């Protein structure tokens, strides 16, 4: 059993990961218009209790989960601990005595309660003592309405505002100035500004290595030479090659030895990850994790459908699909600086072909756009259960790798 869910990061004012919202469906086929909210929530709880735990899916961060009045009344939130879940009350739930009693009870048991897609009504003031987070859709709420909300909660300093659907850096900055504490959306996956900048010597070395490893035959002498010119990169290579995940019997002590033992595919993964991780240290780590998830997903799917792309090339294409956001430059500008093979650049630039379709697939999963997900899977002749399995595997792998590199 796997979650049919996407996870959307919720970041704090420092762009550090605070929690994930889980966007759940009963199955890949059961897309939004046909799914009852009660069913979706109950299936999520069932899966988390008896199959894959929510803490595994969220890397031990809090999970925001939507609850209807019915699922609240059934006591579903208490099937998860108050350290795992934020009880998010759907915007369709009307404020009333029954809901107030449920909120009072959950609050007394230490649960964090959030109001989703908040639209201000004076009746909500009765709930403020028990509410920790108010979520505001900044695409649908104007500044005057936000000012009214801020004024309404001023006597309740424990309440924090979360800006939903933050799509650009400018929207994030505006919300930050207004006093919002948390941010949800894909603003961190968009370049903050377009600017020209040179790659650092270490990044140039990695770009050269990416090019060398994209050739059909590896030139071990050339690759070793590039590593030997960069002390930091050499150290990271030896540390990676000696890490516990490879379960080596003896320690690797030379660059050449590390290259031979790692092999072409593992070396490509290492270089791709190092390039992404060091590209822009000011970017939120969640963005790097998203790129790593895409990379692993592309690798697994490409292997599964036996595409013409080599698995490690598919991995690199997935990773580079986020490089514009990581470097804050247009994709065309970034790729022009990297001496990469056409089979890597073309799917990213033209958005055509099998690899481009796999990139579209993972983007639709990230946004929980299940109908579009279905269409792409049909086009790729990809088994739906297997696609879900690959996405979950990719998330778990990215979480593990980010901990290793942290």
Q: Between 307 and 196, whose confidence is greater?
A: 307
pLDDT band of residue 71 (cuts 50, 70, 90) is: confident
Distance (Å, rounded) from C-alpha 304 to C-alpha 383? 9
Tokens of 379: 């086009």
Residue 32: pLDDT over 60: no
Q: What is the DSSP letter of 60?
A: T
Separation CA 326–CA 287 (nearest Å): 7
Residue 101 lies in a domain: yes
Q: Do 285 and 136 share a structural domain?
A: no
In a domain, 277, yes or no: yes
Phi first, then psi: give them for residue 240, nearest 5 degrees.
Answer: -65, -45
In a domain, 156, yes or no: yes
39 and 140 fall within a common domain: yes
Question: Average pLDDT, whole number, for the chain?
Answer: 82
- Say if residue 293 is in the same domain as residue 176: no
The answer on 265 and 173 residing in a single domain is no
Give yes or no: residues 165 and 305 share one domain: no
Task: Say if 195 falls within a structural domain.
Answer: no
Confidence of residue 258 (pLDDT cuts 50, 70, 90): confident
Does 276 lie in the same domain as 334? yes
Task: Output the pLDDT for position 387.
Answer: 86
Among candidate residues 156, 189, 222, the one where a domain is terminated: 189
Task: Give Cα separations from 156 to 113, 120, 128, 145 (angstroms).
Answer: 14, 15, 7, 18
> Do residues 215 and 87 share a domain?
no
3-state secondary structure of 276: helix
Is there a single domain that holds both residue 279 and residue 330?
Answer: yes
Q: How far is CA 19 from the centre of its chain?
A: 11
Q: How far apart are CA 86 and CA 380, in angstroms?
A: 36
In a domain, 252, yes or no: yes
How far is it, in rounded angstroms, from Cα 140 to Cα 398? 33
Could you tell me which residues are beta bridge partners of residue 12? 182
For residue 345, is it within any domain?
A: yes
pLDDT band at 124; cut points 50, 70, 90: very high
Per-residue pLDDT band for 244 (boundaries 50, 70, 90) equals: low
Mean pLDDT of 296-311: 83
The parent domain of residue 183 ranges over 5-189
Same domain, 247 and 378: yes
Q: Quick check: is 196 in a domain?
A: no
Residues 183 and 253 in one domain: no
Range with the poorest average pLDDT among 23-37, 128-142, 299-313? 23-37
Mean pLDDT along residues 265-273:
78
CA dihedral 365, 371, 372, 377 (to 10 degrees): 80
- Provide the token pair at 236: 């990271």
Dist. CA 111–CA 94, nearest whole Å: 20
Highest mean pLDDT among 29-33, 88-92, 285-289, 318-322: 88-92
Q: What is the CATH number of the domain that holds 328?
A: 1.10.3210.10
Domain boundary among 189, 210, 228: 189
Instruction: Please state the domain count of the chain.
Output: 2
Is 38 contained in some domain?
yes
Shared domain for 305 and 400, answered yes or no, is: yes
Instruction: Residue 16: give its domain's CATH number.
Output: 3.20.20.450
- Is 256 found in the same domain as 396? yes
What's the pLDDT band for 31 if we cut at 50, 70, 90?
very low
Residue ending a domain, among 159, 189, 219, is 189
């Amino acid at each position: 059993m796997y979650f049919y869910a996407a996870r959307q990061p919720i970041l704090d004012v420092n762009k550090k990961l605070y929690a994930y919202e889980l966007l759940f469906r009963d199955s890949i086929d059961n897309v939004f218009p046909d799914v009852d909210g009660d069913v979706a929530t109950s299936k999520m709880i069932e899966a988390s209790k008896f199959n894959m735990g929510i803490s595994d899916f969220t890397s031990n961060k809090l999970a925001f989960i939507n609850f209807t009045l019915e699922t609240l009344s059934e006591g579903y939130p208490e099937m998860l601990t108050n350290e795992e879940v934020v009880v998010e009350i759907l915007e369709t739930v009307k404020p009333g005595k029954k809901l107030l009693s449920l909120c009072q009870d959950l609050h007394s048991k230490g649960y964090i309660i959030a109001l989703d897609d908040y639209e201000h009504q004076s009746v909500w003031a009765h709930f403020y003592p028990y509410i920790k987070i108010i979520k505001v859709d900044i695409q649908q709420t104007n500044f005057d309405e936000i000012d009214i909300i801020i004024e309404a909660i001023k006597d309740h300093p424990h309440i924090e505002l979360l800006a939903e659907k933050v799509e650009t850096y400018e929207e994030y900055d505006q919300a930050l100035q207004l006093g919002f504490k948390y941010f949800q959306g894909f603003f961190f996956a968009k370049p903050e500004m377009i600017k020209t900048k040179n790659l650092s010597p270490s990044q140039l070395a990695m770009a050269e290595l990416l090019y060398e490893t994209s050739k059909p035959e590896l030139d071990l002498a050339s690759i070793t030479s590039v590593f030997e010119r960069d002390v930091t990169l050499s150290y990271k290579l030896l540390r990676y090659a000696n890490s516990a995940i490879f379960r080596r019997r003896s320690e690797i002590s030379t660059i050449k030895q590390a290259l031979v033992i790692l092999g072409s595919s593992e070396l490509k993964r290492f270089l791709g990850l190092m390039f992404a991780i060091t590209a822009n240290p000011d970017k939120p780590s969640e963005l790097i994790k998203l790129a790593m998830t895409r990379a692993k997903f592309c690798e697994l799917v490409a292997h599964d459908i036996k595409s013409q792309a080599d698995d490690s090339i598919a991995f690199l294409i997935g990773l580079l699909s986020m490089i514009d956001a990581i470097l804050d430059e247009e994709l065309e500008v970034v790729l022009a600086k990297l001496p990469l093979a056409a089979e890597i650049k073309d799917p990213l630039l033209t958005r055509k072909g099998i690899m481009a379709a796999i990139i579209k697939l993972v983007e639709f999963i990230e946004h929980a756009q299940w109908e579009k997900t279905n269409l792409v899977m049909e086009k790729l002749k990809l088994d739906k259960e297997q696609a879900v399995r690959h996405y979950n595997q990719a998330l778990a792998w990215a979480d593990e790798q980010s901990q290793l590199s942290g």
